[in-house]
């Protein structure tokens, strides 16, 4: 007998999903328990993926200052995820998230032209 609660994650805005991911990352940095770090990193990745999906629906103008800050935060969050994976000895995952962080920085730079 399983109990399932639907996730409201899909209903989060870009701002909300990003903030949730940042909260998971903050707590992952605070602990030294590898299992907890793994769970928190996974949840952060899920939240950031939702933020990416929400970014395509963001109502703000791409050149707007608020949107630029969100893009910068996305890049920073992926870099933190990369650093956590590196700390835990997962070099391949760390490199992959570093590339993702750079992608968000490039998007921001492109929009600032």
Q: Is residue 2 part of a domain?
A: no
Q: What is the pLDDT of residues 67-104, one digit of tens each?
A: 778 888 999 999 999 999 999 999 999 999 999 998 88
Which residue segment(s) compose the domain that 87 sits in?
13-112
Q: pTM for this one?
A: 0.81
Contact 73, 22 (CB under 8 A): yes
Q: Is residue 75 helix, strand or coil?
A: helix
Half-sphere exposure of 73 (CA within 13 A, CB side): 21
In a domain, 1, yes or no: no
For 22-41, the pLDDT digits (tens) are: 999 999 999 999 999 999 99
Q: Tokens 């995952």 label which residue?
A: 93
Q: How many domains does the chain have?
A: 1
Kindly state whether residue 4 falls inside one of the protein's structural domains: no
Does the pLDDT of residue 6 top 80, yes or no? no
């Amino acid at each position: 007998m399983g109990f399932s609660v639907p996730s409201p994650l899909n209903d989060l805005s870009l701002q909300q999903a990003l903030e949730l991911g940042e909260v998971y990352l903050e707590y992952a940095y605070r602990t030294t328990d590898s299992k907890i770090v793994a769970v928190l990193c996974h949840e952060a990745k899920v939240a950031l993926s939702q933020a990416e999906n929400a970014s395509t629906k963001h109502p703000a103008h791409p050149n707007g200052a608020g949107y630029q800050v969100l893009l910068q935060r996305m890049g920073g969050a992926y870099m933190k995820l990369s650093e956590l994976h590196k700390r835990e000895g997962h070099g391949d995952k760390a490199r992959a998230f570093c590339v993702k962080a750079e992608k968000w920085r490039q998007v921001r730079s492109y929009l600032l032209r």
